Amino acid sequence: MCAFVIKGGVLIDGTGASRFPADLRMDDHRITQIALPGAADETAAEVIQADGLVVAPGFIDVMSHSVSTLLEDGRSVSKITQGITTEIMGEGWTPAPVWGANTEPFRLHGCPGGEKSWENRARNWTRFGDWMSAQEGVGASVNFGSFLGGTTVRLCVRGHAAGPSTPEELDSMRRIVRESMEDGAFGLATALEYPPGSFADTDELTVLCGEVARYGGIYSTHLRAEDDSILEALDEALEICHRSGARLHLYHLKAAGRSSWPKMAQLLQRINGIRTLGTEVYADMYLYTSAGTGLSSVLPPWASTDDRLKDRLADPRERAQIYQAVQTPDGTWEPLGSLNGPASVTPLGLRLPNHLQFNGQSLVKISEALGLDWIDTAIELILKEPGRIFTAFDLMSEDNIERQLLEPWVMPGSDAQGFDPSRSSRDALGLHPRACGNFARFLGYYVRDRGLMSLEEGVRRMTSLPARHLRLAGRGELRTGAFADVVVFDPHEIRDRATFLEPGHLSEGVHHVWVNGQPVVRAGLTTGARPGRRLHGGSKVRKPSADRI
């Protein structure tokens, strides 16, 4: 049993209440005392001086992609050095269940550490809980949990096929969702911009979310569109939750493309109106004007039907059809290359030796060097590169970022994996600065420098807000009896340092971090300890059907 007393700090308890000077004691994995300065019981405890520092609950990242990196290296260095003590994964893809047509568990995230042996191991993960159990075996510095990936559900039953699902196929999907909720999934999480998940229609998602609702779960979604059709995409998400009874969470809230920026005010007004009627809607966001995803997002989703994207690009006739679809979008998909123009598209994950020189250059610059137009340039890079090409898309408005942050139901989310920059090659990096900087950027720039909200409110957004939304009992607040997830940081020095060209710079200003009462960061250095626990979402008791479909 270990005990710590943090002395001399200012406590911000995570509820939004005013800060106050106090000492805090932890025994084993719980907070056992919050006392007036100098009054804490120091018996058999290590004393940590926190003069001039803030003591707060550990931060919760509701949108993590640490699927493979946490299995490879459970320390999640880029996250814990920002004060993050809990990561919730699952947008679109999860490595389990592996069943039916879903035979590549790490297709999106890559095998942990590049070790192909993980593929063979994961093929036995026939249930969602098998993956979570494997992570428990590896251990983690952070607490961890996940939603069930909506794309994974469809892959299991339909593979990469487009079109509506049959009643029999829907029954199989419902079983997968039901088993995953029993295994502790927080709900169903979709990424409706990307195939084959984008092939799921509203009715299919409503049926699956009916199972989620019966366990008190959440429907989290990367909306089907974040461009000019964002309001219609929001309507779809609201309809799914209204018909199914599931609660709603919006991933990385944003309006993408200059023409859509004015629609953010309408979207926020719509959500606030719905919330006043008692409907639960929450959202997370990363705090950068550039998105990060694969270069293939400039192409229409149907080009990837049946997993034949490169085959189609290699066929002159089909390539011409894809080219025409990109050149003249028909409004049925989100053309990321056209939203702000090709000058806003910057590949960062090119791997071939003859392409390395183009990393960090816009598609316009690359096309000039290759003597092609921007569409053919993108097609050639996608066709020739061995894997997914991580790309920055400069799509968002700084004014909207600040406007969104003013909403009390919006919380930071990294949309990134945790990793150790000192051990990772450039290919293994998240390649977006949000991995190392999103939470520190929130506190340092938007809360402190821009003054968008009080420090107490800023801490609430990263602690009790997500904890209550996810129903994480005993986490997200500093109070006697709560789990000892605690961060000590300097409010004057905390800041992000990562950039798109140098995404591996860790943030500064976090001095100490405890997870379940064990230190994972001491004096700014990671300890290597892995006291994180598996977290379960939803209810273990299945409710009767609401019959709302």
Per-residue pLDDT tens over the stretch 144-181 = 999 999 999 999 999 999 999 999 999 999 999 999 99
User: How is residue 335 written in tokens?
Assistant: 């053309």
For 358-380, the pLDDT digits (tens) are 999 999 999 999 999 999 999 99
Q: Is the peptide bond before 433 cis (omega within 30 degrees of 0)?
A: no
Nearest-angstrom CA–CA distance, 30 and 478: 10
Nearest-angstrom CA–CA distance, 269 and 275: 10
Report the number of distinct structural domains present in the chain: 2
Q: Hey, which residues does 176 pair with through a beta bridge?
A: none
Q: Are 220 and 174 spatial neighbours (Cβ–Cβ below 8 Å)?
A: no
Let me know whether 425 and 514 are in one domain.
yes
Let me know whether 114 and 22 are in one domain.
yes
Let me know whether 428 and 329 are in one domain.
no
Cα dihedral 151→237→147→76 (10° resolution)? 100
Q: Furthest-apart CA pair in the chain: how many Å?
A: 78
Dihedrals phi, psi of 132, to nearest 5 degrees: -60, -40
DSSP characters over 190-244: EETTSTTGGG--HHHHHHHHHHHHTTT-EEEEE-S-SSTTHHHHHHHHHHHHHHH
Q: Is the pLDDT of residue 45 over 60?
A: yes
pLDDT at residue number 501: 87
Q: Given phi > 0 = left and psi -120 to 50 = alpha, else beta, which region is 215?
A: alpha
Does residue 81 belong to any structural domain of this protein?
yes
Residue 327, C-beta contacts closer than 8 angstroms, at least 6 positions apart: 375
Let me know whether 373 and 447 are in one domain.
no
Q: Is the peptide bond before 196 cis (omega within 30 degrees of 0)?
A: yes
Let me know whether 1 and 116 are in one domain.
yes
Does residue 238 belong to any structural domain of this protein?
no
Element (H, E) at 72: helix 69-72
Q: Is the pLDDT of residue 406 over 50?
A: yes
Dihedrals phi, psi of 133, to nearest 5 degrees: -65, -40
For 52-89, the pLDDT digits (tens) are 999 999 999 999 999 999 999 999 999 999 999 999 99
DSSP characters over 126-173: -SHHHHHHHHHHH--SSEEEEPEEHHHHHHHHHTT--SPPPHHHHHHH
Nearest-angstrom CA–CA distance, 307 and 159: 9
Place of tokens 């049959």: 166
Collapsed DSSP state (helix, strand, coil) of residue 247: strand
User: How is residue 339 written in tokens?
Assistant: 């939203």
Does residue 448 belong to any structural domain of this protein?
yes
For 226-275, the pLDDT digits (tens) are 999 999 999 999 999 999 999 999 999 999 999 999 999 999 999 999 99
Let me know whether 325 and 385 are in one domain.
yes
Q: Provide, rounded to the nearest whole percent, the portion of the chain with pLDDT above 90.
A: 94
Let me know whether 428 and 524 are in one domain.
yes
**Average of per-residue pLDDT across 187-192:** 98
User: How is residue 97 written in tokens?
Assistant: 């269940």
User: How is residue 194 written in tokens?
Assistant: 């990307």
Between 128-138 and 167-182, two packed helices, what is the crossing angle to 10 degrees?
Answer: 30
Residue in 213, 273, 208, 200 with CA at minimum distance from that of residue 248? 213
Q: Are 35 and 22 spatial neighbours (Cβ–Cβ below 8 Å)?
A: yes
Let me know whether 301 and 355 are in one domain.
yes
Place of tokens 């639960």: 280
For 438-476, the pLDDT digits (tens) are 999 999 999 999 999 999 999 999 999 999 999 999 999
Q: Are 150 and 183 spatial neighbours (Cβ–Cβ below 8 Å)?
A: no
Last residue of a domain, one of 353, 378, 394: 394
Last residue of a domain, one of 345, 378, 394: 394
pLDDT at residue number 538: 74
pLDDT at residue number 241: 98
Nearest-angstrom CA–CA distance, 83 and 60: 9
Nearest-angstrom CA–CA distance, 105 and 235: 32
Place of tokens 């949108």: 63
Cβ-based neighbour number of residue 219 at 10 Å: 26
**Average of per-residue pLDDT across 13-39:** 98
Let me know whether 376 and 436 are in one domain.
no
**Average of per-residue pLDDT across 473-496:** 98
Let me know whether 346 and 436 are in one domain.
no
Residue 485, C-beta contacts closer than 8 angstroms, at least 6 positions apart: 57, 58, 85, 86, 143, 475, 514, 515, 516
pLDDT at residue number 545: 53
Cβ-based neighbour number of residue 423 at 10 Å: 12
Q: What is the CATH number of the domain that holds 70?
A: 2.30.40.10
Nearest-angstrom CA–CA distance, 263 and 226: 10
pLDDT at residue number 549: 32
Place of tokens 């939304």: 469
pTM over cut 0.75: yes
Nearest-angstrom CA–CA distance, 409 and 271: 10
Does residue 92 belong to any structural domain of this protein?
no
Does residue 239 belong to any structural domain of this protein?
no
Which amino acid is present at 527? T
User: How is residue 238 written in tokens?
Assistant: 């609201």
Does residue 279 belong to any structural domain of this protein?
no
What DSSP designation does 443 have?
I
Let me know whether 385 and 457 are in one domain.
no
Q: Is the pLDDT of residue 428 over 50?
A: no
**In this predicted structure, which of 175-179, 456-460, 526-530, 534-538 has the lowest mean pLDDT?**
534-538
pLDDT at residue number 541: 58
Let me know whether 372 and 459 are in one domain.
no
Does residue 499 belong to any structural domain of this protein?
yes
Angle CA(436)–CA(233)–CA(220) in degrees, nearest 5?
A: 50
Which domain range does residue 357 map to?
294-394
Residue in 56, 55, 79, 47 with CA at minimum distance from that of residue 66? 79
Task: Note the helical H segments in 392-470.
Answer: 398-405, 434-441, 455-462, 464-470
Does residue 541 belong to any structural domain of this protein?
no
